Amino acid sequence: MKAVIVGAGQVGFHIAKFLSLTHDVIVIEKDEDALRRADELDIQVVEGNGANADILANVLPDTDILVAVTGVDEVNIVACMTAKLIIKSHPGWKETKTIARVSNPDYIDVPVTSRSQVGVDIMICPELALASEVADVLSNPSAIYAEMFAGGKVKVTEFAIRPDNRLVGRQMYDLKLDDCCIVSAIFRENEIIIPHGDDLIKANDHVVVVGKPRGMEDLEKVFGNIEPHRNKILLIGCGIVGFYLAKIIDKDENTDLKVIEYRKSRCIEVAEILENTLILNGDGTDVNLLREESIENMDVVIAVTDNDEKNLLCSLLAKQMGAKKVIARADRSDYLPLFEMVGIDIAVSPREATVNEVLKLTMGKGIEALATLEGEKAEIIEYTASRQSKIVGKKLSKIKFPKGSLVTMVVHGEDVIIPRGETVILEGDRVIVFALSSAVRSVEKLFK
């Protein structure tokens, strides 16, 4: 496969690094520092403007996918439009899929959509996708990650086991999960475990559970030891991410939401829309303001300003002053482990939405959804079994899955099934697979 990536910033570099392991990659970038960094990879680097028609015409022949992820929406859109026009003018050239990263809400109002009429097959708004991810996590206070699969029939949730949790030192058998839920993995420091019933649960483990959404509702009692109550949430920053997230939370009747935003004009603007939310004009690092708003009583504090360092400072203050759970946005990927290292409960990045969508397109046919876990140590992948799939018509016990992979759920029509050795995968079934990054390619071959 041949991929062209326009922009070698944080997102572009990461996509190029991943794709270069198995595909031919060309990166177009005009910034010298970004070019120098991209040149360290085993890829072809082209200096210049990725929306330039002459540059695109030189690299587009035999290209399968073009990903435009510069920091400028218009450049990304124009690059995709230009690529489509060039391909159209050369009937013998291969059809190229185009993806554009776009942040301006004037262009997009959902996390992922199609704008094929203007030459963009997939338009992604990482900020809106990030807000949706955080909103899913908020529905379960002990969760640090949540994602829906199979059209909402299957939910994947990652829980953090705190040192004071009653489950510490007990076996997996003791979880007593609903029949429609299964533990697919445990992340323990640098170790990844596909668990058995006699495995012990340890403090600071991250446990990944897959199941029906209705079964997930009771998991808070298992992992959180939290009595039902009205949630109190403080949101710091009301830019694109903050506003979209606030709109989702504002509709929850069981939540009291306060927003701190330093721009007075923005406060006035969002106050007219968020009817059930208290909007405060101020600075999220103002200790006196945080005390006045009783931050120690907050169930969740979310820092999603456009500045990573400010998000970190706001989060550390909130944690120090007694907030139960703190979520921080980190645009720089190398900040994610740092944030969690210093005590932030959840660090989230807008980058993941773009990366996941690109990976889904490049990993082959039959992949309906993909999510990366724990800094891309593992992946949850939704496959649709086709007639040609090697897995179809066979019992799971007779299929040799690669080490480090596990079929966690099968969706057959409207039925959601926890797979057993006797389970037979049929054509059209949706199969949810947990796999270490090293096993993904081998799993993919089973579905071809």
Distances (CA, A) of 201 to 165, 205, 218, 314, 341: 10, 7, 19, 32, 21
Is residue 231 packed enough to be buried (19+ CB in 10 Å), middle (13-18) or exposed (0-12)? Answer: middle
Mean of per-residue pLDDT scores for the chain: 88
pLDDT band, very low/low/confident/very high, at 75 (cuts 50, 70, 90): very high
pLDDT score of 51: 93
pLDDT score of 79: 96
Distances (CA, A) of 13 to 4, 65, 69, 125, 355: 12, 16, 10, 18, 10
Q: Are 345 and 160 in contact (CB under 8 A)?
A: yes
In the predicted structure, residue 217 carries a pLDDT above the cut 80: no
d(CA 171, CA 194): 14
pLDDT score of 315: 95
pLDDT tens profile 154-197: 988 888 888 888 888 988 888 878 778 889 889 988 788 888 88
Nearest residue to 111 via CA among 371, 332, 350: 350
pLDDT band, very low/low/confident/very high, at 224 (cuts 50, 70, 90): low
Q: In what order do the strands lie in the sheet with 300-303?
A: 277-281, 255-261, 231-236, 300-303, 325-329, 346-348
Interhelix angle 126-138/240-250, rounded to 10 degrees, is 40
pLDDT tens profile 104-150: 878 888 888 888 888 999 999 888 888 888 887 886 667 888 888 88
Q: Which residues pair with 412 in a beta bridge?
A: 415
**CATH of the domain spanning 130-223:** 3.30.70.1450
pTM for the whole structure = 0.76
Q: Are 108 and 100 in contact (CB under 8 A)?
A: no
Residues of the chain with CATH 3.40.50.720: 2-124, 231-352
Residues of the chain with CATH 3.30.70.1450: 130-223, 354-446
Nearest residue to 356 via CA among 335, 340, 373: 373
In the predicted structure, residue 373 carries a pLDDT above the cut 90: no
In the predicted structure, residue 317 carries a pLDDT above the cut 60: yes
pLDDT band, very low/low/confident/very high, at 354 (cuts 50, 70, 90): confident
When pLDDT is averaged across residues 371-392 and rounded to a whole number, the result is: 83
**DSSP annotation of 133:** H
When pLDDT is averaged across residues 342-361 and rounded to a whole number, the result is: 78
Q: Are 277 and 305 in contact (CB under 8 A)?
A: no
d(CA 154, CA 210): 7
288-312: burial string, b at 16+ Cβ within 10 Å, e else: eebeebebeebbbbbbbbeebebbb
Q: Are 190 and 145 in contact (CB under 8 A)?
A: no
**CATH of the domain spanning 231-352:** 3.40.50.720
Can you say whether residue 144 is alpha, beta or left, with left for phi > 0 and alpha for psi between -120 and 50 degrees? alpha
pLDDT score of 63: 93
**Tokens encoding 195:** 């668990």
d(CA 203, CA 336): 21
pLDDT score of 226: 56
Q: Are 343 and 316 in contact (CB under 8 A)?
A: yes
The fourth-level CATH superfamily of domain 354-446 is Regulator of K+ conductance, C-terminal domain (3.30.70.1450)
Please provide the size of the chain in residues. Answer: 448
More confident residue, 438 or 287: 287
**DSSP annotation of 117:** G
Distances (CA, A) of 400 to 5, 306, 438, 443: 36, 47, 16, 10
When pLDDT is averaged across residues 423-434 and rounded to a whole number, the result is: 91
101-110, 165-174, 228-237, 312-321 — most confident range: 312-321
d(CA 324, CA 391): 45
In the predicted structure, residue 222 carries a pLDDT above the cut 80: no
162-166, 225-229, 249-253 — most confident range: 249-253
Largest CA distance in the chain: 67
Q: Are 101 and 68 in contact (CB under 8 A)?
A: yes
The secondary structure of 319-352 as a DSSP string is: HHTT-SEEEEE-SSGGGHHHHHHTT-SEEE-THH
Q: Which CATH number fits domain 2-124: 3.90.1200.10, 3.30.390.30, 3.90.1150.10, 3.40.50.720?
A: 3.40.50.720
